[in-house]
Copies of this chain bind each other. A is one copy, B any other.
Amino acid sequence: MGPGPSDVNPRVLSALGRPTIGHLDPQFFMLMDEVKSLLQYAFKTKNDLTIPISAPGSAGMEACFVNLVEPGDKVVVCSNGVFGGRMAENVRRVGGQLILLEEEWGKPVNPEKLDALLSKNPDVSIVAFVHAETSTGVRSDAEHLCRIAKNYDCLVILDCVTSLGGIEVSLDEWKVDAAYSGSQKCLSCVPGLSPLSFSDAALKKLKNRKSPVNSWFLDLNLITDYWSGSEKRSYHHTAPVNSIYGLHEALIILKEEGLERSWDRHRQNHVLLRDHLEGIGLRFIVDEPYRLPQLNAVSIPDSVDEQAIRKSLLNDFDLEIGAGLGSLAGKIWRIGLMGYASNNGNVLYCVNALKEALSKNS
């Protein structure tokens, strides 16, 4: 019950162990097509380029920036946590001109500030932000932020690593141009894959680049030749066949439950956890309307040795919860209720374990 990897559904673990077939086997091509269509369902998009990148979420993030940002492009990154900071680092490394819109950690990105910034910088071509900040448990209003970016004709890059499957993500309705996620959060698959989706406008920007993409491994011009639905697929790299078996199974599980029911379950279990945690005096660091149900960040009471508590949970209760990152290190815990792990039993187990650990260590 940390910030991810979440507990993996046994069906996914079992799918992982199926015999490996070739990455150019016609049977595997059929599986790839199913994965594409299941990812389109999960992302709520018709984007044809909707595929898993063969590496963790950080590589999905890099794939967006390295394909869409050319040297000199002006890019606004709205940063309110660790992963916004990582986006900014990506812009720097790819040679973009970074405009950083910083927000206090634990607060959502502020739409008015974005509007004001874009009105003063009409040559910005890309806006990027994190939908669900895993470092703080805050949800930004993606729909609103996308609307503003679109008013200024900007492409939008959206980090959906922790949101996908846990709260609403609607790429087409919100007009997101490039989105990436991770397999190991609310999809409850093993870590190692990054679902990614590009709109037609994003593809157009990619096709019209003046300079080559500086990564060969993440060059979507080449990757799409392998993932395209056509008969004639070109080998690019060896796909992580078994991990894709796992993702396929995880997405089938999501579709069986249904997106809306999954979001609902995440909300209900969050409410249950919230009531219990507040009952033992723990406070959420995020204001109620912006709390992520799948990532519950609470302040650590003074006088509590937070490392001792986490160690006791891990050793005595086999239970992992997350520590704070960056400026929140030592100040918060992050309790994940993601995907398969978001259930009633886990909430009660966690609360009871936490109570015991707190009473033993105080």
Chain B residues with CB below 8 A from A206, complex form? none
A1-22: contact bitstring with B at CB < 8 Å (1 yes, 0 no)?
0101101100001101111111
Residue from B7, B55, B235, B241 in contact with A190 in the complex, judged by beta carbons closer than 8 Å: B241
CB distance from A332 to the nearest CB of B (A): 15
Additional pairs, 19, CB under 8 Å, beyond known A13-B16, A93-B212: A2-B22, A2-B24, A7-B19, A8-B242, A13-B20, A25-B320, A26-B314, A54-B55, A56-B239, A57-B238, A58-B237, A184-B238, A191-B242, A192-B240, A192-B241, A192-B242, A214-B214, A240-B243, A243-B243
A4 contacts B238, C-beta separation under 8 Å: yes
A238-261: contact bitstring with B at CB < 8 Å (1 yes, 0 no)?
111111001000000000000000
Chain B residues with CB below 8 A from A62, complex form? 215-217
CB distance from A273 to the nearest CB of B (A): 19
In the assembled complex, A147 has its CB within 8 A of some CB on chain B:
no
In the assembled complex, A213 has its CB within 8 A of some CB on chain B:
yes
Once the chains are docked, how many angstroms separate the CA of A257 from the CA of B322? 40
- Closest 6 interchain pairs by CB? A192-B240, A55-B55, A58-B237, A190-B242, A13-B17, A17-B17
Q: How many copies does the complex hold?
A: 2
Chain B residues with CB below 8 A from A57, complex form? 237-238
In the assembled complex, A285 has its CB within 8 A of some CB on chain B:
no
Q: Which residue of B lies closest to A27 (CB)?
A: B314
Contacts A16-B16, A59-B217: A325 and B240 contacting too (C-beta < 8 A)? no
Chain B residues with CB below 8 A from A26, complex form? 314
A238 contacts B320, C-beta separation under 8 Å: no
Number of interface residues of A (CB under 8 A): 58
Chain B residues with CB below 8 A from A13, complex form? 16-20, 242
B94 contacts A214, C-beta separation under 8 Å: yes
In the assembled complex, A90 has its CB within 8 A of some CB on chain B:
yes
- How would you classify the secondary structure of chain A's contact residues: helix, strand, loop or mixed? loop
Once the chains are docked, how many angstroms separate the CA of A86 from the CA of B4? 34
Chain B residues with CB below 8 A from A238, complex form? 4-5, 56-58, 182, 184, 191
Interface residues of A in 69-89 (CB under 8 A from B): 86, 89
In the assembled complex, A23 has its CB within 8 A of some CB on chain B:
yes
Chain A residues at the B interface, C-beta cutoff of 8 Å: 2, 4-5, 7-8, 13-14, 16-26, 54-59, 61-62, 66, 86, 89-90, 92-95, 182, 184, 190-192, 212-217, 235-243, 246, 314, 320, 325
A320 contacts B16, C-beta separation under 8 Å: no
Contacts A5-B20, A17-B14: A93 and B216 contacting too (C-beta < 8 A)? yes
Once the chains are docked, how many angstroms separate the CA of A59 from the CA of B192? 13
Contacts A54-B56, A240-B192: A22 and B8 contacting too (C-beta < 8 A)? no
Chain B residues with CB below 8 A from A23, complex form? 5, 191
Chain B residues with CB below 8 A from A314, complex form? 25-26
Once the chains are docked, how many angstroms separate the CA of A242 from the CA of B191? 8
Once the chains are docked, how many angstroms separate the CA of A241 from the CA of B16? 12
Contacts A16-B17, A192-B192: A216 and B56 contacting too (C-beta < 8 A)? no
Chain B residues with CB below 8 A from A22, complex form? 2, 5, 320
Chain B residues with CB below 8 A from A237, complex form? 56-59
Chain B residues with CB below 8 A from A95, complex form? 214
Chain B residues with CB below 8 A from A56, complex form? 54, 237-240
B17 contacts A241, C-beta separation under 8 Å: no
